[in-house]
Amino acid sequence: MFDRLRSHVMARIELTEEQFAESTRFFIPRHLRRKEFLLRAGDTGRYIAFVNRGCLRSYTIDKKGVEHVVQFAIEEWWIADLYSFLTDEPATYYIDALEDSEVLLLDRPSQEELCATLPAYERFFRLLLERNYIANHRRIAATLSLTAEERYLFFMKTYPQFVERLPQHQIASYLGITPESLSRIRRKLMQKS
């Protein structure tokens, strides 16, 4: 159950086996079927989720009813509506499972207690946020400076594991284009090579 989390955490911070074992009591395992929601906009989403198996996404729905994928998460990734997690305000994102999945949930009080009990976890979450900060700024820069085709190539290069695993229209949504446009981009790239 906690094998993947153990290797993930212990690769990043100094922790004994005993300390890690102690930390597992803070995590709540949960199974999600494909299309099942972990969180809906409006809920108070007081946990962050570590993906043990499967694939999830967070997204918004605009006023026309169109979904816009903000993030994907597969094995060893974390996903959350961090704003809601940190402030207890209602969530602004939806999070659901794109495949049957297993997640480990950590709620806010548990995270506080975990960091207080094992300060190395404070460092762990800082490192996690640093990586995220970098990835988000790259995505912003890509959106500002690249065409749809270039963004797709960038996505393929950066997240090859996602390209084989996700439906195309989900990737299109993440890239900020329509499924039709992505289909045409792919055709064009096929012809080139």
Q: What is the CB neighbour count within 10 angstroms for residue 138?
A: 12
Q: Torsion over CA of 154, 167, 73 and 68, rounded to 10 degrees?
A: 80
Residue 130 interface partner, choices its own copies, DNA, none, CB cut-off 5-8 Å depending on type? its own copies
By CB under 7 A, the residues from 32 to 71 that bind DNA are 34, 64, 66
Q: Torsion over CA of 125, 129, 130 and 134, rounded to 10 degrees?
A: 160
Of 16 and 158, CB closest to DNA: 158
**Cβ neighbours for 166, distance < 8 A, ≥ 6 positions apart:** 55, 72, 98
Site string for DNA, 144-183 (x = CB under 7 A): ---xxx-----------------xxxx-----xxxxxxxx
By CB under 8 A, the residues from 93 to 152 that bind its own copies are 93, 119, 122-123, 125-126, 129-130, 132-134, 136-141, 143-146
- What is the C-alpha separation between 182 and 132, in angstroms, rounded? 26
Of 23 and 173, CB closest to its own copies: 173
Of 104 and 177, CB closest to DNA: 177
Q: Are 28 and 111 in contact (CB under 8 A)?
A: no
Q: Please, what is the end-to-end C-alpha distance for the chain in angstroms?
A: 43
Of 28 and 141, CB closest to its own copies: 141
**H helical segments located in 24-103:** 82-87
Check residue 130 for interaction with DNA (CB under 7 A).
Answer: no
Residues in contact with its own copies by the rule CB under 8 A = 60, 62, 66, 68-71, 82-83, 86, 92-93, 119, 122-123, 125-126, 129-130, 132-134, 136-141, 143-146, 173, 176
Residues in contact with DNA by the rule CB under 7 A = 34, 64, 66, 147-149, 167-170, 176-184, 186-187
